Protein backbone atom coordinates (compact mmCIF):
# COMPACT_ATOMS: atom_id res chain seq x y z
CA UNK A 1 0.00 0.00 0.00
CA UNK A 2 1.12 3.55 -0.58
CA UNK A 3 -0.30 6.49 1.29
CA UNK A 4 -1.17 9.51 -0.80
CA UNK A 5 -2.73 12.53 0.88
CA UNK A 6 -4.59 10.35 3.36
CA UNK A 7 -5.61 7.65 0.87
CA UNK A 8 -4.31 4.07 1.01
CA UNK A 9 -3.71 2.84 -2.50
CA UNK A 10 -2.99 -0.85 -3.13
CA UNK A 11 -0.03 -1.66 -5.37
CA UNK A 12 1.02 -4.77 -7.28
CA UNK A 13 2.62 -6.01 -4.05
CA UNK A 14 -0.85 -6.19 -2.50
CA UNK A 15 -2.66 -7.59 -5.53
CA UNK A 16 0.14 -9.94 -6.74
CA UNK A 17 -1.68 -11.36 -9.75
CA UNK A 18 -0.13 -14.48 -11.24
CA UNK A 19 -1.37 -16.77 -13.99
CA UNK A 20 -4.40 -14.49 -14.38
CA UNK A 21 -5.97 -12.22 -16.95
CA UNK A 22 -5.21 -8.60 -16.14
CA UNK A 23 -6.71 -5.45 -17.61
CA UNK A 24 -4.02 -2.77 -17.60
CA UNK A 25 -5.04 0.87 -18.12
CA UNK A 26 -2.02 2.68 -19.56
CA UNK A 27 -1.65 6.23 -20.83
CA UNK A 28 0.31 6.04 -24.07
CA UNK A 29 -1.25 9.25 -25.38
CA UNK A 30 1.74 10.69 -27.25
CA UNK A 31 2.57 13.80 -29.28
CA UNK A 32 2.05 13.13 -32.98
CA UNK A 33 3.00 15.09 -36.11
CA UNK A 34 0.59 16.23 -38.81
CA UNK A 35 0.60 12.79 -40.45
CA UNK A 36 -0.25 11.13 -37.13
CA UNK A 37 3.26 9.72 -36.60
CA UNK A 38 4.32 9.47 -32.94
CA UNK A 39 7.03 12.03 -32.19
CA UNK A 40 8.09 10.72 -28.81
CA UNK A 41 7.62 7.38 -27.08
CA UNK A 42 8.47 8.44 -23.48
CA UNK A 43 5.02 7.62 -22.17
CA UNK A 44 5.11 4.22 -23.87
CA UNK A 45 8.51 3.37 -22.35
CA UNK A 46 7.36 4.50 -18.91
CA UNK A 47 4.92 1.54 -18.71
CA UNK A 48 7.37 -1.18 -19.74
CA UNK A 49 8.31 -2.10 -16.15
CA UNK A 50 4.69 -2.78 -15.18
CA UNK A 51 3.95 -4.73 -18.35
CA UNK A 52 7.11 -6.85 -17.96
CA UNK A 53 6.36 -7.60 -14.31
CA UNK A 54 2.81 -8.73 -15.08
CA UNK A 55 3.93 -10.95 -17.98
CA UNK A 56 6.78 -12.46 -15.98
CA UNK A 57 4.26 -13.60 -13.34
CA UNK A 58 2.50 -15.66 -16.02
CA UNK A 59 -0.40 -13.25 -16.54
CA UNK A 60 -1.98 -12.34 -19.85
CA UNK A 61 -2.40 -8.60 -20.19
CA UNK A 62 -5.08 -6.59 -22.01
CA UNK A 63 -3.96 -2.97 -22.37
CA UNK A 64 -6.49 -0.14 -22.65
CA UNK A 65 -5.52 3.44 -23.53
CA UNK A 66 -6.67 6.58 -25.26
CA UNK A 67 -4.85 8.81 -27.76
CA UNK A 68 -6.08 12.39 -28.19
CA UNK A 69 -9.71 13.39 -28.10
CA UNK A 70 -12.36 12.98 -30.85
CA UNK A 71 -12.20 15.97 -33.18
CA UNK A 72 -8.53 16.71 -32.47
CA UNK A 73 -5.69 16.04 -34.91
CA UNK A 74 -4.00 13.66 -32.48
CA UNK A 75 -7.06 11.43 -32.13
CA UNK A 76 -5.56 8.41 -33.87
CA UNK A 77 -5.58 4.63 -33.86
CA UNK A 78 -3.27 2.83 -31.41
CA UNK A 79 -1.84 0.53 -34.09
CA UNK A 80 1.57 2.23 -34.18
CA UNK A 81 1.66 2.34 -30.37
CA UNK A 82 1.39 -1.47 -30.40
CA UNK A 83 4.35 -1.68 -32.76
CA UNK A 84 6.41 0.62 -30.52
CA UNK A 85 5.58 -1.39 -27.40
CA UNK A 86 6.51 -4.59 -29.21
CA UNK A 87 9.84 -3.13 -30.32
CA UNK A 88 10.71 -1.72 -26.88
CA UNK A 89 9.67 -4.82 -24.97
CA UNK A 90 10.85 -7.51 -27.36
CA UNK A 91 7.55 -9.35 -26.86
CA UNK A 92 4.79 -9.72 -29.48
CA UNK A 93 1.88 -7.32 -29.01
CA UNK A 94 -1.43 -8.20 -30.62
CA UNK A 95 -3.24 -5.06 -31.73
CA UNK A 96 -7.04 -5.43 -31.77
CA UNK A 97 -8.88 -2.78 -33.79
CA UNK A 98 -11.93 -3.07 -31.60
CA UNK A 99 -12.76 -2.12 -28.00
CA UNK A 100 -15.79 -4.11 -26.78
CA UNK A 101 -17.11 -5.77 -29.94
CA UNK A 102 -17.20 -9.53 -30.64
CA UNK A 103 -13.66 -9.50 -32.07
CA UNK A 104 -12.14 -7.92 -28.94
CA UNK A 105 -14.12 -10.23 -26.67
CA UNK A 106 -13.02 -13.35 -28.59
CA UNK A 107 -9.37 -12.30 -28.47
CA UNK A 108 -9.53 -11.63 -24.71
CA UNK A 109 -11.28 -14.95 -24.03
CA UNK A 110 -8.63 -16.89 -25.95
CA UNK A 111 -5.60 -15.25 -24.27
CA UNK A 112 -3.05 -17.47 -22.52
CA UNK A 113 -0.35 -16.61 -19.94
CA UNK A 114 2.30 -14.32 -21.44
CA UNK A 115 -0.04 -12.93 -24.14
CA UNK A 116 -0.10 -9.16 -24.55
CA UNK A 117 -2.95 -7.36 -26.30
CA UNK A 118 -3.61 -3.68 -27.00
CA UNK A 119 -7.21 -2.69 -27.68
CA UNK A 120 -8.09 0.19 -30.02
CA UNK A 121 -8.37 3.79 -28.74
CA UNK A 122 -10.90 3.60 -25.89
CA UNK A 123 -12.17 7.13 -26.70
CA UNK A 124 -13.84 5.69 -29.80
CA UNK A 125 -16.53 4.86 -27.26
CA UNK A 126 -18.50 8.02 -26.59
CA UNK A 127 -19.24 6.98 -23.00
CA UNK A 128 -15.49 7.13 -22.25
CA UNK A 129 -15.68 10.92 -22.69
CA UNK A 130 -18.25 11.40 -19.96
CA UNK A 131 -16.98 12.02 -16.45
CA UNK A 132 -19.08 10.56 -13.62
CA UNK A 133 -18.61 8.90 -10.23
CA UNK A 134 -17.13 5.36 -10.14
CA UNK A 135 -20.41 3.57 -9.31
CA UNK A 136 -22.03 5.13 -12.38
CA UNK A 137 -19.04 4.33 -14.61
CA UNK A 138 -19.18 0.70 -13.45
CA UNK A 139 -22.53 0.49 -15.28
CA UNK A 140 -21.16 1.58 -18.66
CA UNK A 141 -21.01 -0.82 -21.62
CA UNK A 142 -17.24 -0.73 -21.48
CA UNK A 143 -16.98 -1.93 -17.89
CA UNK A 144 -19.93 -4.31 -18.02
CA UNK A 145 -18.58 -5.93 -21.18
CA UNK A 146 -14.88 -6.19 -20.38
CA UNK A 147 -14.78 -6.72 -16.59
CA UNK A 148 -16.27 -10.25 -16.70
CA UNK A 149 -13.53 -11.31 -19.14
CA UNK A 150 -10.60 -10.52 -16.80
CA UNK A 151 -9.65 -11.27 -13.19
CA UNK A 152 -7.85 -8.09 -12.16
CA UNK A 153 -7.60 -4.41 -13.02
CA UNK A 154 -4.32 -2.51 -12.76
CA UNK A 155 -4.22 1.24 -13.33
CA UNK A 156 -0.85 2.56 -14.45
CA UNK A 157 -2.21 5.65 -16.25
CA UNK A 158 -1.15 8.39 -13.83
CA UNK A 159 -1.32 10.95 -16.63
CA UNK A 160 -5.10 10.40 -16.91
CA UNK A 161 -5.72 10.08 -13.16
CA UNK A 162 -7.60 13.41 -13.14
CA UNK A 163 -10.33 12.03 -15.41
CA UNK A 164 -13.28 10.25 -13.82
CA UNK A 165 -13.88 8.24 -16.99
CA UNK A 166 -15.13 4.63 -17.21
CA UNK A 167 -11.75 3.05 -18.02
CA UNK A 168 -10.18 4.98 -15.14
CA UNK A 169 -12.67 4.64 -12.29
CA UNK A 170 -15.33 2.06 -13.27
CA UNK A 171 -13.30 -1.16 -13.06
CA UNK A 172 -12.14 -0.84 -9.40
CA UNK A 173 -15.81 -0.96 -8.38
CA UNK A 174 -16.20 -4.46 -9.77
CA UNK A 175 -12.70 -5.99 -9.91
CA UNK A 176 -9.82 -6.51 -7.48
CA UNK A 177 -7.58 -3.59 -8.42
CA UNK A 178 -4.25 -1.93 -7.77
CA UNK A 179 -1.90 0.79 -8.97
CA UNK A 180 0.77 -0.28 -11.46
CA UNK A 181 4.46 0.47 -10.91
CA UNK A 182 4.44 3.74 -12.87
CA UNK A 183 1.39 5.05 -11.01
CA UNK A 184 3.08 4.05 -7.75
CA UNK A 185 6.33 5.83 -8.64
CA UNK A 186 4.52 9.02 -9.66
CA UNK A 187 2.41 9.15 -6.51
CA UNK A 188 5.40 8.56 -4.27
CA UNK A 189 7.35 11.38 -6.00
CA UNK A 190 4.43 13.80 -5.79
CA UNK A 191 3.68 13.23 -2.14
CA UNK A 192 7.38 13.80 -1.44
CA UNK A 193 7.24 17.06 -3.35
CA UNK A 194 4.13 18.31 -1.55
CA UNK A 195 5.60 17.56 1.85
CA UNK A 196 8.92 19.19 1.00
CA UNK A 197 7.49 22.22 -0.73
CA UNK A 198 9.11 25.55 0.08
CA UNK A 199 8.86 29.05 -1.27
CA UNK A 200 9.19 30.45 -3.88
CA UNK A 201 7.00 28.11 -5.84
CA UNK A 202 6.92 28.74 -9.56
CA UNK A 203 4.51 27.24 -12.07
CA UNK A 204 5.39 27.35 -15.75
CA UNK A 205 2.20 26.62 -17.66
CA UNK A 206 2.00 26.38 -21.42
CA UNK A 207 0.47 24.17 -24.08
CA UNK A 208 -2.90 24.21 -25.72
CA UNK A 209 -5.18 22.66 -23.08
CA UNK A 210 -6.34 26.11 -22.06
CA UNK A 211 -9.63 25.02 -20.51
CA UNK A 212 -7.85 22.71 -18.09
CA UNK A 213 -5.08 25.17 -17.38
CA UNK A 214 -7.32 28.08 -16.46
CA UNK A 215 -9.04 25.82 -13.94
CA UNK A 216 -5.68 24.96 -12.46
CA UNK A 217 -4.65 28.63 -12.31
CA UNK A 218 -7.94 29.43 -10.55
CA UNK A 219 -7.18 26.69 -8.00
CA UNK A 220 -3.60 27.81 -7.50
CA UNK A 221 -4.78 31.36 -7.03
CA UNK A 222 -7.58 30.47 -4.59
CA UNK A 223 -5.24 28.37 -2.47
CA UNK A 224 -2.39 30.88 -2.80
CA UNK A 225 -0.07 28.07 -3.82
CA UNK A 226 1.95 29.89 -6.46
CA UNK A 227 4.42 32.71 -5.98
CA UNK A 228 4.61 33.15 -9.72
CA UNK A 229 2.84 31.63 -12.73
CA UNK A 230 4.80 31.98 -15.97
CA UNK A 231 2.71 31.33 -19.05
CA UNK A 232 3.52 30.13 -22.56
CA UNK A 233 1.71 28.58 -25.52
CA UNK A 234 -1.99 29.34 -25.94
CA UNK A 235 -2.31 29.88 -22.18
CA UNK A 236 -0.05 32.92 -22.55
CA UNK A 237 -2.11 34.22 -25.47
CA UNK A 238 -5.30 34.00 -23.42
CA UNK A 239 -3.78 35.97 -20.55
CA UNK A 240 -2.18 38.47 -22.91
CA UNK A 241 -5.63 39.24 -24.32
CA UNK A 242 -7.08 39.35 -20.81
CA UNK A 243 -4.41 41.91 -19.90
CA UNK A 244 -5.58 44.06 -22.82
CA UNK A 245 -2.93 43.29 -25.44
CA UNK A 246 -3.90 43.14 -29.08
CA UNK A 247 -2.20 40.10 -30.54
CA UNK A 248 -3.13 40.91 -34.12
CA UNK A 249 -5.86 39.61 -36.41
CA UNK A 250 -4.38 36.19 -37.14
CA UNK A 251 -3.75 35.18 -33.54
CA UNK A 252 -7.14 36.50 -32.43
CA UNK A 253 -8.69 34.38 -35.19
CA UNK A 254 -6.87 31.26 -33.93
CA UNK A 255 -8.06 31.98 -30.38
CA UNK A 256 -11.60 32.48 -31.60
CA UNK A 257 -11.58 29.28 -33.69
CA UNK A 258 -10.38 27.29 -30.70
CA UNK A 259 -13.07 28.76 -28.43
CA UNK A 260 -10.42 30.40 -26.23
CA UNK A 261 -11.74 33.96 -26.49
CA UNK A 262 -14.76 32.85 -24.47
CA UNK A 263 -12.38 32.27 -21.55
CA UNK A 264 -11.15 35.88 -21.48
CA UNK A 265 -13.64 37.05 -18.79
CA UNK A 266 -12.52 34.18 -16.54
CA UNK A 267 -8.88 35.03 -17.14
CA UNK A 268 -9.60 38.69 -16.27
CA UNK A 269 -11.25 37.62 -13.03
CA UNK A 270 -8.20 35.51 -12.16
CA UNK A 271 -5.96 38.52 -12.78
CA UNK A 272 -8.18 40.84 -10.75
CA UNK A 273 -8.11 38.40 -7.85
CA UNK A 274 -4.36 39.06 -7.67
CA UNK A 275 -3.07 35.83 -9.22
CA UNK A 276 0.64 36.29 -10.02
CA UNK A 277 0.25 35.44 -13.71
CA UNK A 278 3.08 36.62 -15.98
CA UNK A 279 2.90 36.75 -19.77
CA UNK A 280 5.79 36.72 -22.27
CA UNK A 281 7.48 40.02 -23.10
CA UNK A 282 8.19 38.88 -26.65
CA UNK A 283 7.22 36.15 -29.09
CA UNK A 284 8.72 34.33 -32.05
CA UNK A 285 6.26 34.76 -34.88
CA UNK A 286 5.88 33.58 -38.47
CA UNK A 287 4.24 35.55 -41.25
CA UNK A 288 2.21 34.06 -44.08
CA UNK A 289 5.22 34.20 -46.39
CA UNK A 290 7.28 32.19 -43.90
CA UNK A 291 9.30 35.03 -42.36
CA UNK A 292 10.26 34.29 -38.76
CA UNK A 293 10.78 37.27 -36.41
CA UNK A 294 10.99 38.24 -32.75
CA UNK A 295 8.17 40.64 -31.92
CA UNK A 296 7.36 42.49 -28.68
CA UNK A 297 4.15 41.25 -27.04
CA UNK A 298 2.48 44.65 -27.49
CA UNK A 299 3.13 44.73 -31.24
CA UNK A 300 2.56 41.32 -32.76
CA UNK A 301 1.95 40.95 -36.49
CA UNK A 302 2.80 37.35 -37.36
CA UNK A 303 1.37 34.12 -35.98
CA UNK A 304 2.77 33.34 -32.52
CA UNK A 305 4.95 30.23 -32.50
CA UNK A 306 7.17 30.43 -29.42
CA UNK A 307 8.31 32.73 -26.61
CA UNK A 308 11.09 35.18 -27.51
CA UNK A 309 14.64 35.57 -26.19
CA UNK A 310 13.89 38.22 -23.54
CA UNK A 311 11.13 36.06 -22.15
CA UNK A 312 13.41 33.01 -22.19
CA UNK A 313 16.01 34.84 -20.17
CA UNK A 314 13.54 36.22 -17.58
CA UNK A 315 11.64 32.91 -17.23
CA UNK A 316 14.90 30.96 -16.91
CA UNK A 317 16.16 33.11 -14.07
CA UNK A 318 12.86 32.73 -12.16
CA UNK A 319 13.00 28.96 -12.62
CA UNK A 320 16.62 28.74 -11.46
CA UNK A 321 15.82 30.75 -8.30
CA UNK A 322 12.71 28.74 -7.40
CA UNK A 323 12.65 26.27 -4.51
CA UNK A 324 9.98 24.30 -6.28
CA UNK A 325 9.20 24.65 -9.96
CA UNK A 326 6.45 22.81 -11.79
CA UNK A 327 6.58 22.82 -15.58
CA UNK A 328 3.61 21.75 -17.64
CA UNK A 329 2.93 22.23 -21.34
CA UNK A 330 5.27 23.58 -24.03
CA UNK A 331 6.05 27.28 -24.57
CA UNK A 332 5.64 27.06 -28.34
CA UNK A 333 4.60 24.92 -31.27
CA UNK A 334 7.12 22.16 -30.59
CA UNK A 335 5.68 19.88 -33.28
CA UNK A 336 7.77 22.11 -35.57
CA UNK A 337 11.44 21.90 -34.64
CA UNK A 338 12.01 25.58 -35.49
CA UNK A 339 9.88 26.57 -32.50
CA UNK A 340 11.34 24.47 -29.72
CA UNK A 341 13.89 26.93 -28.29
CA UNK A 342 11.61 28.39 -25.60
CA UNK A 343 10.53 25.00 -24.30
CA UNK A 344 14.07 23.59 -24.36
CA UNK A 345 15.32 26.66 -22.46
CA UNK A 346 12.83 26.39 -19.59
CA UNK A 347 13.64 22.68 -19.23
CA UNK A 348 17.39 23.47 -19.22
CA UNK A 349 16.83 26.11 -16.51
CA UNK A 350 15.13 23.48 -14.34
CA UNK A 351 18.18 21.21 -14.58
CA UNK A 352 20.53 24.13 -13.86
CA UNK A 353 18.60 25.46 -10.84
CA UNK A 354 19.03 24.42 -7.22
CA UNK A 355 15.38 23.76 -6.41
CA UNK A 356 13.18 20.72 -6.92
CA UNK A 357 11.42 20.54 -10.27
CA UNK A 358 8.63 18.44 -11.64
CA UNK A 359 8.38 18.37 -15.42
CA UNK A 360 5.13 16.96 -16.67
CA UNK A 361 2.95 16.30 -19.67
CA UNK A 362 3.46 14.24 -22.80
CA UNK A 363 4.57 17.13 -24.99
CA UNK A 364 6.97 18.65 -22.51
CA UNK A 365 8.74 15.46 -21.49
CA UNK A 366 9.33 14.69 -25.15
CA UNK A 367 11.90 17.52 -25.10
CA UNK A 368 13.80 16.39 -22.01
CA UNK A 369 17.14 15.41 -23.49
CA UNK A 370 18.00 11.77 -23.28
CA UNK A 371 20.50 11.15 -20.52
CA UNK A 372 19.47 14.25 -18.49
CA UNK A 373 19.56 13.06 -14.91
CA UNK A 374 19.16 14.88 -11.62
CA UNK A 375 17.87 13.86 -8.19
CA UNK A 376 16.16 17.22 -8.06
CA UNK A 377 14.14 16.78 -11.25
CA UNK A 378 11.20 14.40 -11.45
CA UNK A 379 10.09 13.83 -15.03
CA UNK A 380 6.43 12.95 -14.67
CA UNK A 381 4.29 11.37 -17.36
CA UNK A 382 1.39 13.47 -16.07
CA UNK A 383 0.59 17.04 -17.06
CA UNK A 384 -2.97 17.85 -16.02
CA UNK A 385 -2.98 15.09 -13.41
CA UNK A 386 0.07 16.41 -11.66
CA UNK A 387 -1.21 19.96 -11.54
CA UNK A 388 -4.58 18.90 -10.20
CA UNK A 389 -2.74 16.96 -7.52
CA UNK A 390 -0.47 19.87 -6.69
CA UNK A 391 -3.33 22.31 -6.53
CA UNK A 392 -4.78 20.17 -3.78
CA UNK A 393 -7.65 18.48 -5.60
CA UNK A 394 -8.13 14.74 -5.49
CA UNK A 395 -7.40 12.49 -8.43
CA UNK A 396 -10.55 10.44 -9.14
CA UNK A 397 -8.62 7.40 -10.41
CA UNK A 398 -6.48 7.30 -7.27
CA UNK A 399 -9.58 7.65 -5.09
CA UNK A 400 -11.28 4.83 -7.00
CA UNK A 401 -8.29 2.54 -6.43
CA UNK A 402 -8.28 3.40 -2.74
CA UNK A 403 -12.01 2.69 -2.41
CA UNK A 404 -12.05 -0.50 -4.45
CA UNK A 405 -8.58 -1.85 -4.09
CA UNK A 406 -8.07 -5.53 -3.38
CA UNK A 407 -11.00 -5.99 -1.04
CA UNK A 408 -13.33 -7.25 -3.76
CA UNK A 409 -10.96 -10.10 -4.51
C1 LIG B 1 -2.81 14.02 -20.94
O2 LIG B 1 -2.04 14.06 -21.90
O3 LIG B 1 -2.96 14.98 -20.15
C4 LIG B 1 -3.56 12.74 -20.65
O5 LIG B 1 -3.28 11.77 -21.60
C6 LIG B 1 -5.04 13.00 -20.54
O7 LIG B 1 -5.51 13.46 -21.77
P8 LIG B 1 -6.79 14.40 -21.82
O9 LIG B 1 -6.39 15.73 -21.29
O10 LIG B 1 -7.20 14.42 -23.27
O11 LIG B 1 -7.86 13.75 -20.94
Task: Give residue-wise pLDDT tens across range 257-304.
Answer: 999 999 999 999 999 999 999 999 999 999 999 999 999 999 999 999
Please state the domain count of the chain.
Answer: 2
405 is a domain residue: no
Mutate to test the pocket of ligand 1, among 47, 124, 155, 159 (most ligand atoms within 8 A of CB): 159
362 is a domain residue: yes
DSSP-derived pairing of the beta strands 277-278 and 228-231: parallel
Q: In sequence order, what are the beta bridge partners of 293? A: 285
251 is a domain residue: yes
Same domain, yes or no, for 143 and 9?
yes
Question: Which ligand 1 atom sits closest to the C-alpha of 165?
Answer: 11
349 is a domain residue: yes
- pLDDT number for residue 387: 80
Could you tell me the distance, in angstroms and rounded to a whole number, from the CA of residue 386 to the centre of ligand 1?
A: 11
Q: Which residues line ligand 1 (CB under 6 A)?
A: 27, 29, 69, 159-160, 163, 209, 362, 383-384
Q: What is the DSSP letter of 227?
A: S
Mutate to test the pocket of ligand 1, among 123, 163, 382, 384 (most ligand atoms within 8 A of CB): 384
Question: Which ligand 1 atom sits closest to the C-alpha of 385?
Answer: 3
Same domain, yes or no, for 284 and 339?
yes
Could you tell me the distance, in angstroms and rounded to a whole number, from the CA of residue 310 to the centre of ligand 1?
A: 31
- pLDDT number for residue 194: 67
- Ranges in the chain, pLDDT < 50: 407-409
DSSP-derived pairing of the beta strands 21-25 and 60-64: parallel
- pLDDT number for residue 197: 61
The last residue of a domain, from among 184, 205, 229:
184
- pLDDT number for residue 372: 77
Could you tell me the distance, in angstroms and rounded to a whole number, from the CA of residue 232 to the centre of ligand 1?
A: 18
Task: Please choose, from the candidates 328, 109, 373, the residue with its C-alpha nearest in 3D space to the C-alpha of residue 230.
Answer: 328
232 is a domain residue: yes
- pLDDT number for residue 409: 40
CB count in 10 Å sphere of residue 402: 22
Same domain, yes or no, for 166 and 263?
no
Same domain, yes or no, for 208 and 156?
no
CB count in 10 Å sphere of residue 18: 12
Same domain, yes or no, for 169 and 270?
no
Nearest CA to ligand 1 atom 7: 160
- Judge whether 164 and 134 are in contact, CB under 8 Å: yes
Same domain, yes or no, for 75 and 121?
yes
Mutate to test the pocket of ligand 1, among 160, 165, 330 (most ligand atoms within 8 A of CB): 160
Q: Which domain holds residue 143?
A: 2-184
- pLDDT number for residue 43: 92
- pLDDT number for residue 407: 45
Amino acid sequence: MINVEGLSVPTLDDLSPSGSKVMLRVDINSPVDRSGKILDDSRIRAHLGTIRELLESGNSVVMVSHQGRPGDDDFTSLRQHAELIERALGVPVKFVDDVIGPYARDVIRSMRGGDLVLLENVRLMSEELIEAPPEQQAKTFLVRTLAPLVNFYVNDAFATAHRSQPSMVGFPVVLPSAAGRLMEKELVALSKLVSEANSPKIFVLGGSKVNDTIKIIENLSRKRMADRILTGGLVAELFAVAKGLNLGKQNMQVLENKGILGLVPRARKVLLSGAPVEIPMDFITETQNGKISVEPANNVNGVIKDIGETTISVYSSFIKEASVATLRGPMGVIEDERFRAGTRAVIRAAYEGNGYTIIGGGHLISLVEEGSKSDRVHVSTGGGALLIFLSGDSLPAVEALSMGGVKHG
